[in-house]
Structure 1
Amino acid sequence: MKVYNHPVLLPEVWLHWDHQTVRERGTQALLRSRMDFLLMLPHGQRIVLEVDGSQHYTRDRGQRPDSAKYAETMAGDRDLKLRGYDVFRFGHDELRDETAARVLLEQFLPALFRRLNVSAGTD
């Protein structure tokens, strides 16, 4: 069997890091363990890509800044980083326009692959 060393992009991945059930801990227990996208790269490299709307840093439907919500988001990033994931966040507005999003990602992904020594070769 041939193994390919190509990147794999998975949308909406849940990382269940805790053996306790949601019933025991409540529905909020695993919220910080949801990733918008998980990019799995050769050699076990794991990259989390998050797209943040205002719900990550505001309350009242985006009307008022909420430092506690922002702190929760940052705590989730730290937890993922300690588990071996690199986390990269994009603001919703950066990706709203398709053309601008394409330009951004066409710059970001090759730069990321260079940093992590991921080749663009085919197997």
Structure 2
Amino acid sequence: MRLQQSLMSDGERNLFAAYFKAFRERMGPRLPALIPQVYLHYDPTVVKLLRGRLPLPRQRMDFLMLLPQRQRVVIEVDGKQHFSKDGQPSLDIYADMVSADRELRLAGYEIFRFGANETTRRDHVARLTAFFEQLFRANGIDPG
């Protein structure tokens, strides 16, 4: 309940609910952790990597998934704040986002982004379930 309260949008709530609805029983204790609202400056690996450099401009991630072999996956649900300012498209905001994505990749994170509309459509549960199944299989995990 507490984790659900930390979610900031319908899209995030839908992604979180779809994940556990589809996989909690199927995978049981093998289910990879999906942690919402993670601040990456607390990750010792990132702290080491960024020592002496500016911190990542986008340190709060919507979700962090922890996979076997220390694989870390960031999942973002992007609303208009990721590409616009005051209701207008902004190349600067978009450039900052993709720059931060590159920094995260170089720090060892894999990043997947969803448009908020993807996570609020009628078929969002099926779409999200298919994504997670593909992600698991690509990382050698049997989704059950």
Normalising by the smaller structure, the TM-score range is 0.7 to 0.9
Aligned residue number for residue 118 of structure 1: 141
Distance 1:13 1:30, change over 3 A: same
Divergent runs of 4+, >3 A:
17-20
Structure-to-structure mapping, 1:12-51, within 5 angstroms: 12-16=37-41, 17=47, 18=50, 31-51=57-77
What amino acid does structure 2 have at the position aligned with 1:105? L
Q: Is the 8 A contact 2:65 2:73 kept in 1?
A: yes
Question: What is the aligned residue count?
Answer: 108
Structure-to-structure mapping, 1:1-123, within 5 angstroms: 6-16=31-41, 17=47, 18=50, 31-60=57-86, 63-97=87-121, 99-120=122-143
Aligned residue number for residue 22 of structure 2: none
Q: Which has the higher helix share?
A: 2
**TM-score of the two chains, using structure 1 as the length reference:** 0.78
Larger radius of gyration: 1
Q: Distance in 1 between matches of 2:30 and 2:88?
A: 45
Q: Distance in 2 between matches of 1:39 and 1:67?
A: 29
CA RMSD of aligned residues (A): 2.0
Select the structure with the greater relative contact order (CA < 8 A; seq sep ≥ 6).
2
Distance 1:69 1:112, change over 3 A: same
Q: Distance in 1 between matches of 2:126 and 2:74?
A: 20
Once the two structures are aligned, what percentage of the paired residues are identical?
42
**TM-score of the two chains, using structure 2 as the length reference:** 0.68
Instruction: Give the unaligned 5+ runs of structure 2.
Output: 1-28, 42-46
